[in-house]
Amino acid sequence: MKYLNLICLSALTFCFWPASAPVADVATLCRIAEAQRDVSYVGVRLKTLGTSRGTKTMEELVIHRSAAHSYRKVLSIVGEKQPAERERKRDADNRTRRRRGKERGRGRELSKWERNRSQFSDKEIELIAQNYHLKLEESGEKTLGYETAVLVVKPKLPQRPSKYITFARKNGVILEVKDLDSEGTLREMFAYTRLSFEQEVVQAQWQKYQNEIHVAPRRSQPVSQEDASALLSGKLVQPAYLPPGFQLLELRSIKERRAIHLTYTDGLLGFSIFETAGSRMRGDRRGEVIHLNGTDVYKHERGHEDVFIWKHADIVFFLYGAVPSSEKLKVVESIVKR
């Protein structure tokens, strides 16, 4: 918590510059992030995800006791909407595989508990304050009986997403979130339909479900740059170019694969690079071939995004994310030239 306060103080100091977000609005974002860590609650929410296969809406149960003990589980699939015909044709080669695994996958989806990740890490708060306009809008409406306000997060640069956060004025807990891409298309949203902050209710739900909450540890773990480089025999390469406002968020190692996962973000938008030692490209040699500095880079479409795959020495690089393809290509070029 002390580190979060330091981050917020840094963001507030930064905001005294004329081009930055108003101090009070950044403080609101910090309050929301703090509430997501510290306020206990239990609730049911509707969550909608936008994917290459269309949109899917599901009902989730969320039990949040603390930042270390926050879990969610899909209770039911409320609805699915398929993409337009021209988009379905693009995914034709995946239909058979999806159909065969649909029921099996849905069964796993409905029975699996997962960790409920906080909306904002400390680093993301700092970058949002730098790269986005924040505006607090008071609301006269009530949601689930709670007085609310809305924090609107708008980009300073083109081709970046927007975010609308409706939260309880009482304690700062998020009641509804809408994420829109640069064209205003829904990326993700959730809205609570039931919610309780009563400790007796939270404890009762925890006792009811705690024996079935078995979340497998992540296959990756945070790692320093020195250890990441050692895992790849000194061959870790970071891009010389990043899109404006982006910074390295974290490095994680996947030891059983001798792989490093690098995540970059501007606070809301992000992309990832996997660097894997001793790996074969196998079926990844498809799509458009781009010749860069003597290296063949393979670009192909996955969902609505372009991914880039190439190999140098015995390291296979894989880059993907929701940033524009032209920006991803600049990142690739900066790595290849190094």
Once rounded to an integer, what is the mean pLDDT over residues 162-176? 96
Which conformational region is residue 315 in: left (phi greater than 0), alpha (psi within -120 to 50 degrees), or beta? Answer: beta
Q: Which fold has domain 221-336?
A: Phosphorylase Kinase; domain 1 (3.30.200)
Once rounded to an integer, what is the mean pLDDT over residues 313-338? 94
170-229 tens-digit pLDDT: 999 999 999 999 999 899 999 999 999 999 999 999 999 999 998 888 889 999 999 999
From residue 54, alpha-carbon distances to 48, 110, 325 in Å are 10, 19, 21
Global confidence as pTM: 0.85
221-240 tens-digit pLDDT: 999 999 999 999 988 999 99
High-pLDDT (> 70) share of the chain, %:
83
Cα–Cα distance for residue pair 249/272, rounded to 1 Å: 10
Cα–Cα distance for residue pair 6/1, rounded to 1 Å: 9
2-212 against 221-336: fold identical: no
Cα–Cα distance for residue pair 333/310, rounded to 1 Å: 11
User: Which CATH number among 3.40.50.9100, 3.30.1360.120, 3.40.50.300, 2.50.20.10 corresponds to the domain 2-212?
Assistant: 2.50.20.10
Average pLDDT, the chain: 86
Domain ranges of the chain: 2-212, 221-336
329: Cβ contacts below 8 Å, ≥ 6 apart:
290, 299, 308
Kind and range of the H or E element at 113? strand 113-115
pLDDT bin (cut points 50, 70, 90) of residue 18 is very low
More confident residue, 6 or 335: 335
